[in-house]
Structure 1
């Protein structure tokens, strides 16, 4: 069979495998749909590999495998991306780490009910262990060949080293791997939403469950950030009869006590096309904000080039599977226009910072906390930095 024919056959088989994953394992199948499939005929790649954009597979190797083993190989590569193995290595020895992540991935797949092929790294008693824990108990004198006939490529050297098939063109990029954090959360939220519609969502193994939970936790100390702007606007001397002063109740004196804190907060989410990868993170941070005042109604505005939704929500309304509306261009002005008639004490605006800005005088009429998401998080109030997890960034630069 000619090279082009075997590659075409392998691609058809792998595309069928991916469709099967979507049906049988919706979470990992949804992630598989975000990767290109590229069979190659090249001795530099005897099995399979991924660079975070594309899954490469040796076409002859794939065509020789049984349907179950070939499905396993595809799921194995997708799990490497989903489990963020490239980001988690952090200077560990490459060969030991390659063994550890294969043990973790194959254990994850076994937990979902898939059969681990003979010759692949797998120990039943390590199921549920993280790659970091497995790494610590592995011997130091391992060789890459010890990973068996299913060993895949986890690292890439010089792009032209020993490659004869031009389709074997990996493009490793740190930004692509970082983007998988939001892909994982987004896929989990979509699968959860579909599951609430009556469709089974599949089993999420323990290690991945822990990873998803960590990625959906807010990263910003919102109580500290927002109280810095809310508290000065509260009247500490204000009293009200509905909150009696407890110091005098024992003397049978009913005197007014301090007024309860009233949180007047609006949150705007930029739902434009350029922020789609960030929306799961935006939701996680929004839940972090609402969790500080669970019973308080927060005005939530979803907007791209126009207002897509304007409603009041509480923490109970912000479900993980909530789907945001948008996908168009970006214009910040409609949000500020909508708030003119009933301005909040503080507006928190989640965005990537790209869009049509209102005039400074319109922004200065409100206390605005800009939460700017790109590769890192930068938080600014008006034009001065509040909390920064990356380099300071100005919308007006």
Structure 2
């Protein structure tokens, strides 16, 4: 590295620490690299910050350099390179930049360069209705909705944002587990520091909560539960004649028999309060099981409206009911006769109950007929569950996966 450039980089770090002394420890795990081959003043891949020696130091004054420095650091702390998943990079960059610059302006009190991406600028250009409290995933979704028709022209995003500080994060192909584990603690410390300074880091605190939630997104959680239950056929040893091959041929090979098929039961609260959420959840479950597992669908409002076994998503499926909400009939389990399953099968079944839990007839304790470890309340709003486990499907309002 050129000694003059190295000196400038060291000065930049000193200025950053003098402005926010508590960011100093982040330099222990964030690497800074001079790279003349990158097409932008600076960018990050989630673990290191690359700086162009000419574009960065010659085009920007000290204040702007410091802003870009913190901008890249926040991309790392907010895990933007990992949270992108399968989203389009250009739109994700717009959303991530808007969030980071809003935090630097509101929480850090820094002046945003005119060339930076801002929420106000995005709303003017796309009329996306973005709010300051919106997270990166929400902003991405709003932008995608507005500009999806303009994707026909290759490189359209670059034309629209010409002259802007743009495309400064790279998608990480590898999820660095150490970064994912350590960063929430670092962000918590940074939030605490800002509060000690008399500032309320609302935007940064919201992003911190989103990162915590991201570890257990509802779609991913449903997939993990289903695959854990039905992923591999369990095998059990057969007792009779297990020594036959040994006696005849001197070889002991145990015989195997597959366990009986476990049931997947999907209960939908059909009182009307779950619309339109239930349809997405229904399709998600079938996409996960991929026609390998039959699903027992039960619709219930004040009474059980339908019971049917399904192997695929029907072309047209509507909720039956729309009346009051009382789950007493479900928990009396008289419906198992019509479903043609035994109490033993019910006990071993994986049950998803999709509801807002604003209902009568919910037992205070888990019924003996079911295993609460295999019973999941799939909730469309924050609610305390009486027993069993829960999946917060309502979080998809915050985290929309593409």
Q: Smaller-chain TM-score range?
A: 0.3 to 0.5
TM-score (norm 2): 0.42
Normalised by the size of structure 1, how large is the TM-score?
A: 0.42
